[in-house]
Amino acid sequence: MDLSLAQMAEAFARRDRTFDGRFVVGVTSTRIYCRPSCPARRPKPDNCRFFNTAAEAEGEGFRPCKRCRPCEVARDAAAVEQALLLLRAQARPVPLAELAEACGYSPTHLQRVFTRATGLSPAAFGRALRQEAARASLSGEGKVTEAIYAAGFEGASTFYAAMEGTLGMTPSAWARGGAGVTITWAVAATSLGPILVAASAKGVCRISFNEGEDELRARFPRAELVKGGADFAALLQQVVAAIEEPGTAPDIPLDVAGTAFQQRVWEQLRAIPPGETRSYGQIAAALGQPGASRAVGSANGANPVAVLVPCHRVVQASGALGGYAYGEAIKRELLRRERKG
């Protein structure tokens, strides 16, 4: 879909990386054209000309910026896609130098464009893929040791180190569906309705509006549920504060499990500044997978921690609010408070 001049000017003003490759900006005072996310100082609006392609800009006598290299967007995207294919095809850590050689890039440049496109470094992305494979293996009937090697880990020590803070429980407990894990929970009153807060020893694992013990037990059928007391009050107050006065609460540790793709989407959600919104398409583009809007929507809907992982900041491409698990009224009010604050 063609962009309007207003859309291009707005994307350029905010250095929106999700628009890279969709248009370029020519600066008449320097005769240089840039990609929307170029980090250089912004020129005066009267000196800007917008082109749908780099070829159009060069046809008008503009030359590519040496800082943001707008003519290399397509090449960078192809290199990232090739690196992703290689990482997914290997059940082992792939050295950055090996990836870079296969893509025809220097290791430093591949690291930069890959991280910019996916939100993760090649090494972190590879670890996430192996973690996802481990979760799938541990959910079956096989032994933990077999799952460790099947997922591409060299041994138990590297497996436990990589999974630290991501499984939310020991691998053997994960294999038993969470048996033996203690989850403390409570329901607190807020101006938007009752909020359920549940946490393991590592962090918050569930936040939801208008739910209680029955819904929590359905989500964690094999865990030991303990009603929170005075020692749980401080965490409960922090979560309530995040709802009542967005931006005032400290960072709250989370203990959420998801696929590698879901985790990447949730990280993108947490990167959206309070008061701002993104569309599913923009998040998919930021992940380097512009065709994955529906998958982003599914990951957004699977978010187990309302507010702290702000899925309410995702709207339709038209700007309409779109759906929300806890109702449009709560979504609208959360956004209003963030914009006001």
- Does residue 54 share a domain with residue 18? yes
In a domain, 246, yes or no: no
Catalytic residue among 34, 65, 71, 103: 34
Local confidence band at 131 (pLDDT 50, 70, 90 cut-offs): low
- Does residue 121 share a domain with residue 85? yes
CA dist 114 → 66, 103, 123, 193 (Å): 19, 11, 10, 42
The answer to which of 123-132, 239-248, 269-278, 312-321 has the lowest mean pLDDT is 123-132
38 is catalytic: no
- Nearest-CA neighbor of 220 among 209, 233, 210, 211? 211
Name the average pLDDT for the chain.
82
Q: What is the pTM of this model?
A: 0.54
- Does residue 140 share a domain with residue 103? yes
pLDDT in the model for residue 285:
84
Which structural domain, as residue segments, surrounds residue 158?
74-177
- Does residue 114 share a domain with residue 90? yes
Domain boundary among 137, 153, 177: 177
The answer to which of 13-27, 97-111, 164-178 has the lowest mean pLDDT is 164-178
Local confidence band at 167 (pLDDT 50, 70, 90 cut-offs): very low
Predicted confidence (pLDDT) per residue in 323-340, tens digit: 888 999 999 999 999 888
What 3-state class would DSSP assign to 64? strand
In a domain, 64, yes or no: yes
- Does residue 230 share a domain with residue 190? yes
Tell me: pLDDT of 178 over 80: no
71 is catalytic: no
pLDDT in the model for residue 249:
60
In a domain, 330, yes or no: yes
In a domain, 169, yes or no: yes
In a domain, 250, yes or no: no
Strand order in the sheet with 32-34: 48-51, 24-27, 32-34, 63-64
- Does residue 221 share a domain with residue 286? no
Choice between 124 and 159, residue whose per-residue pLDDT is larger: 124
- Does residue 150 share a domain with residue 86? yes
- Does residue 170 share a domain with residue 204? no
CATH number of the structural domain spanning residue 34: 3.40.10.10
Tell me: pLDDT of 174 over 70: no
Catalytic residue among 38, 65, 205, 311: 311
Domain boundary among 31, 52, 68: 68
CATH number of the structural domain spanning residue 198: 3.30.160.70
Tell me: pLDDT of 177 over 60: no
Domains held by the chain: number: 4
pLDDT in the model for residue 200:
86
- Does residue 170 share a domain with residue 91? yes
In a domain, 234, yes or no: yes
Tell me: pLDDT of 140 over 90: no
- Does residue 19 share a domain with residue 44? yes
Highest mean pLDDT among 70-84, 205-219, 248-262: 205-219
Percent of the chain clearing pLDDT 70 (strictly above): 82
